[in-house]
Structure 1
């Protein structure tokens, strides 16, 4: 009698893990996601970055279209690896392998993959918004269409979306979108509320996004894939591009410097860089010069369980909450990676509108509070004093006054403002701006008398003379677009006219000697007090911040701030 040996069915090999897929952009109008003008940014594989989580593996390249060639770059040099690519090609990512791989030629799709598998967690997206109904509607719908997104939590702090017919229709069509309404607690309060709600699904990754930041599904999937492959808990960020000029890279990896406790690039992206017409061997500015220790919350992906591990944001209203959270994460052993080949497009910021508006107070207050809480030395005080000297000499006396208001808050101690001023932070700061403008604003029909900027020696001498002389009518009047207003461009002027993009005057302010002297005396006194009490302040903020970032603390804060008719708390 013959026995038969049972045979098991042949195993199906696992599907390859896709690291990135690029499809040639369509010429049809109305696309939701901008592409960089150089398609190579979206198409190329940053091999050296992926090698950090993959090791020495073989990458499979698949293309459609052609004919095309495969190129590699390392240390600024390029070489061709293959010509007339077939449908599939394999490249090894060895320790001495390429830093970049890319395809040149008329291809319609490019896909990079490896023979492995990894489970990607569902993603919950948190989007705070205030009085920007169209942006919020577009953003929520964009994320809800993504297959990798499980839920979109929109935190409305303006109270307008719950009465919007368009948003009501979107909620009916997309059950994955959840609307929460609460008072305006700033970006910190919006993100904290969303993170608190997202903690109900601790196995989800959590993406924090601005309501006007555009992140493609492909970028988000690449970020999630890299994060899932990393052996160390990793917070992912996306390179920041200009929404107005999609080929302009604004920022990549960033860190807070130890010495002066200020943001800076941890790569070579010191100022915006136009990538149009460039190829990867020219991208040496992306080489890391230090470890990033935070990511901007215009698009940050947290791994599952981050909130339970690290807590919630510092109750700062806005500014420095993302950097403080990143520093906290770094201290807990997290890594920060901003992945080349991904991108988030955001309207560019204007330094003038930040520094000469109410936000300047909370920005400087939060920087000093974060520095104190994280044990920074007195280098941050020297940096603060130096910048105040620049503000005063260049006539940016509103900025100087707002910074002094922030310094006063820090000196009062955390229990005087941390958490308790969220509902009033904007109003109080705006009152300072209103009072200053009432005393110092000039009519915008002044006639310019000099081109800006003045030569530096002359400008510095004029500023010093202005500082010591009595008040008088402006002699040197300059006109500048808002984008060009900084300390160097206004140094030496008696009056500054600020124009919009079309050249129309928007504001004008005087630079008066008596006001400069009062500002200088005030800042010398405040910085002397900071220096004397810095160790004590460090202990106070170091103890207070962990107490104010817990789930219990934020829940109590949100309950106290919420109104009876707040549907988000029902």
Structure 2
């Protein structure tokens, strides 16, 4: 429609990603949806609701972060309906901004001005409902504005892949199909950084493939960021190689960045676990000695929970808020530091903490991923601890002092000791040892080849393998009884009790219950089993292994305490160097920036 700029078109389910229809719309009465045709058909008496995670409009975020003062709703279809547009507030009755009987047309959209400005929606949400008065269908709708964009972002999508040829090929296929028909195709370009040099992606108008040294996600995204700068992009969007996100989210992100009033505005995508495609894993996270996902477990089928999350996430986020790199869009002009060479794990946290981005989350901007819990291993614990410590040592804004920083390592040690994960304890010790080596060790081992092989060789017991039937259980201690639990805590879950391996509980837990301490109190043998895959593993109480790894932790902790001031100074001095373009150009064997600018 002339003079209008689309902000948020209607999103339909994509069965390849998520078919939980209540996340998109809720249909009542004689009605049905065609996902392929992207239309909803209805008979007289049907009720269509769009107060859903993917299709509600957070006017509070658009009003506060983008200065939006003009808003409209466009509808196309066929039939006579009652249209109602609601503006909702926390702890207040709702307002009906539009309530009209209209006749939808298939060839041209009807547009309705939404008079929201007088209501000062600092924390408001908009959605619409249709009640059918005749038979008909809804074929399209979109929220729009008559305000011109403040800028026209050139958005480079940086995807890092390593020997996941099928996954990245499907991502490229989906993006090419989307870009060919997108109104924003001239403002989007995908850069595929191929760390395995095996994907075989061909270049075209919408996609550029770049072969790269395998320095992990950090190296891949650093290369993608540099390539985005070379293309003259204004913004960069980091995405996983399976890019399991609705393509509509890219347009939604672009539109928000086009209207953002703060040049430091970034958009972080939420994450939903593929195990339960209706349950939120996180909607951004905080780092304060540990990574703390926000709004985890929110049932996205429940409008009340979705509304509560959106109200709470409308205000500007604290300085320790960060977004995961499965989906993170940011302005290149604001970047002072490239990723730190963590290989993987922690690079996204460090990147957000080191910059003063105004990070926003938007409904429907999300990626579907496997649960992190099921990916845990001694290697991931090694990577997590060393990055946690590095954040506090290298970033002045995260300095919490000697005692609190050391407490992080001791907490990792305790969490692995209680469930008898001695291989994880060994990896934790190695992480603390490497942090004590200083940032130079990270620079010299950016490919992590030695450590990955070493930790892989450690992993014998804590490795998933086929398990038809879990071993029989036996319980003498009840972890839900306060007295039994107190005894186990006082004895480090039996590690200070003689012969505990003989009389402690033998239990089986689901994979998602790993690292939940309540059930393992009193257990001397723990079997974890993934019902979906039929795989599992069993760990067994061992005083010898616990003593060996605990002694090593004690020695390293004492060293950390003694060397803390000098260690922190080394880390803070090295951070700018190890996140500079020059460092990554050398590490990735690239021509220098000066050389690339020469004719």
Aligned partners of 1:36 and 1:246 also within 8 Å? no
What is the CA distance between 1:158 and its match in structure 2?
2.4
Q: Does the 8 Å contact 1:68/1:104 carry over to 2? A: yes
Instruction: Identify the residue that residue 62 of structure 1 maps to in structure 2.
Output: 74
- Give the conservation status (yes or no) of the 8 Å contact 1:389–1:520: no
Cα distance in structure 1, aligned partners of 2:2 and 2:462: 71
Q: How does 1:134-213 map to 2 (within 5 A)?
A: 134-144=166-176, 145-146=178-179, 147=182, 148=184, 150-162=188-200, 167=201, 171=202, 174-213=204-243
Paired residues of 1:442 and 1:508 also in contact (CA < 8 A) = no
- Matched with 2:4 is 16
CA spacing shift, 1:286–1:418, aligned 2, 3 Å: farther
- Alignment partner, residue 509 of structure 2: 480
Partners of 1:19 and 1:441 in 2: how far apart?
Answer: 46
> Which one has more relative contact order, counting CA pairs under 8 Å at least 6 apart?
1
Match of 2:318 in 1: 291
Alpha-carbon distance change, 61 to 130 in structure 1, aligned in 2, over 3 angstroms: same
- Offset of 1:184 from its aligned partner? 2.2
Shift of 1:448: 2.1
TM-score, length-scaled by structure 2: 0.79
* Rounded Cα–Cα distance in structure 1 between residues aligned with 2:190 and 2:226: 13
Q: TM-score, normalised by structure 1?
A: 0.83
In structure 2, how many angstroms separate the alpha carbons of the residues matched to 1:31 and 1:520?
Answer: 47
Moved more, 186-195 or 397-406: 397-406
Distance 1:30 1:216, change over 3 A: closer
Do the aligned residues in 1 keep the contact of 2:286 with 2:322 (CA within 8 Å)? yes
Aligned-partner Cα distance in 1 for 2:477–2:59: 45
CA distance in 1, matches of 2:233, 2:336: 15
5 Å matches for 1:314-329?
314-329=340-355
Deviations 1:332-354 (A, max 9, x none): xx311112x23223223232532
CA gap 1:460/1:347 in 2 versus in 1, 3 angstroms? farther
Residues in 2 aligned to 1:452 and 1:158: alpha-carbon distance in whole angstroms: 50
Partner of 1:74: 89
1:280 deviation in Å? 7.3
Task: Give the conservation status (yes or no) of the 8 Å contact 1:364–1:406.
Answer: yes
1:310 corresponds in structure 2 to 336
1:434 aligns with 2:465: no
Alignment: residue pair count = 523
Q: Distance in 1 between matches of 2:18 and 2:260?
A: 27
Alpha-carbon contact 2:196-2:214 (below 8 Å) kept: yes
Aligned mates of 2:450, 2:510 — CA distance in 1: 27
Q: Report if the CA contact (8 A) 2:71-2:144 is conserved.
A: yes
Residue among 257, 269, 278 paired with 1:247: 278
Match of 2:407 in 1: 382
Query: How do 1:345-424 residues align onto structure 2 when only pairs under 5 Å count?
Result: 345-351=367-373, 353-354=375-376, 356-375=377-396, 376-378=399-401, 379-415=404-440, 417-423=441-447
Query: Counterparts in 2 of 1:65-104, with a 5 A limit?
Result: 65=77, 66-81=81-96, 82-84=98-100, 86=102, 87=110, 88-94=112-118, 96-97=120-121, 99-104=124-129
Give 1:121 shift. Answer: 2.0
Q: Give the CA RMSD over aligned residues.
A: 3.1
- TM-superposition CA deviations, 1:106-127 (whole Å, max 9, x none): 6543322222112422221111
Determine the structure 1 residue equivalent to 2:35. none
Q: For structure 1, which segment, 480-489 or 239-248, has the greater mean C-alpha deviation from structure 2 after superposition?
A: 239-248
Task: Report SS of the residue matched to 1:297.
Answer: coil
**Which residue, out of 59, 81, 97, partners 1:47?**
59
Q: Distance in 1 between matches of 2:306 and 2:17?
A: 30
Q: Decide whether the 8 Å contact of 1:358 with 1:433 is kept in 2.
A: yes
* Counterpart check, 1:272 vs 2:297: yes
Residue pair 1:315, 1:419 contacting (<8 A) in 2 also? yes
Deviation at 1:216, TM superposition (A): 2.7
2:255 maps to which residue? Answer: 225
Alpha carbons of 1:439 and 1:272: their partners in 2 closer, same or farther (altered >3 Å)?
Answer: closer
Separation of aligned partners in 1, 2:165 and 2:463: 35
CA shift for structure 1 position 497: 1.3
Tell me, which stretches of 5 or more residues in structure 1 are unaligned?
Answer: 1-12, 562-570
Within 1, Cα distance between the matches of 2:167 and 2:411? 39
- Corresponding residue for 1:5? none
Q: Residues 441, 435 of structure 1: CA spacing in aligned structure 2 closer, same or farther, 3 A cutoff?
A: farther
Q: Is the 8 A contact 2:73 2:113 kept in 1?
A: yes
Query: How far, CA to CA, are the matches of 2:269 and 2:502 in structure 1?
Result: 46
SS at match of 2:325: coil
Residues 198-257 of structure 1, C-alpha deviation per residue, up to 9 Å, x if partnerless?
Answer: 210234421110012323332212212222322222121122223343322221132222
CA distance in 2, matches of 1:469, 1:22: 61
Deviation at 1:318, TM superposition (A): 0.4
SS at match of 1:410: helix
How far does the alpha carbon of each residue in 1:130-164 deviate from its partner, in whole angstroms, 9 at most, with x for none?
A: 121111001112223323353222122223223xx
Distance 1:35 1:229, change over 3 A: farther
Residue of structure 2 in register with 1:8 after alignment: none
Deviation by residue 1:159-191 (Cα, 9 ceiling, x = unmatched):
3223xxxx4xxx27x443222223421111111
- Counterparts of 1:44 and 1:199 in 2: how far apart (Å)? 34
